[in-house]
A and B are shown apart, each in its own frame.
Chain A
Amino acid sequence: DAKTTQPPSMDCAEGRAANLPCNHSTISGNEYVYWYRQIHSQGPQYIIHGLKNNETNEMASLIITEDRKSSTLILPHATLRDTAVYYCIVSSASGGSYIPTFGRGTSLIVHP
């Protein structure tokens, strides 16, 4: 069962920031938030993950609310190549089974 809720679709103008929200109100203390994206006809690609602090890498930024019940993935300057389905995943990383479990994600369309 997916533990996250995402809007089914969003659109964004090229060059603008894309802010993709995710609700994970049942997240527990040792569970991480992961984001992947899947460009058409390719396998999913890891973007970023975090526990409670905000994270940034060369692809995106991840903002996690203080209560950890929601997060936002930010693509600071979206390009046409960022058009993809974006998946928000919550998974435990402390022993046991870490199995990325995908919902339906958010289909992001970046337009010129």
Chain B
Amino acid sequence: DTGVSQDPRHKITKRGQNVTFRCDPISEHNRLYWYRQTLGQGPEFLTYFQNEAQLEKSRLLSDRFSAERPKGSFSTLEIQRTEQGDSAMYLCASSPTLTLMNTEAFFGQGTRLTVV
């Protein structure tokens, strides 16, 4: 399978614990995005990387959230001191370098986080 891979698929954690999610984008895709999705809503943008550089962060990305893409390949999203409101599906997407003809994003299956 050469699509976007996310791990784990499901995570249940106790409030106050830290969690880390991993995303492996499609090989050679320069851009990597993180989104959060709650029930009944569309995906909400969190942050994106161009290679290893984090170029934009949403206001949704509080200081408890941190994302990295150290070698421009896989990325991790860490949530510290989780809260019940962090319960959501966390989606990762990747896309190749922006061109006029090839700008669609490819999404992974997501990591569903439940904070109890």
Binding site for B on A (CB under 8 A): 2, 32, 34, 42-46, 49, 85, 87, 91, 93-95, 97-105
Contacts and interface: CB of A to CB of B under 8 A. Distances in A.
Contact of A43 (B42, B55, B110): B110
A102 B44 contact: yes
A98 B98 contact: yes
Chain A at the B interface: mostly helix, strand, loop or mixed? loop
A45 B99 CA distance: 19
B103 A32 contact: yes
Given A97-B56, A100-B33, 8 more contacts: A43-B107, A43-B110, A44-B93, A87-B42, A98-B98, A99-B56, A100-B105, A104-B40
B107 A98 contact: no
B106 interface: yes
Interface in B74-116: 91, 93, 95, 98-100, 103-110
B65 interface: no
Nearest to B40: A104
Contacts of B105: 44, 46, 100
Contact of A45 (B55, B100, B107): B107
Nearest to A91: B103
A93 B91 contact: no
B21 interface: no
Nearest to B55: A97
B2 interface: no
B16 interface: no
Interface centre among A94, A98, A105 (most CB of B within 10 A): A98
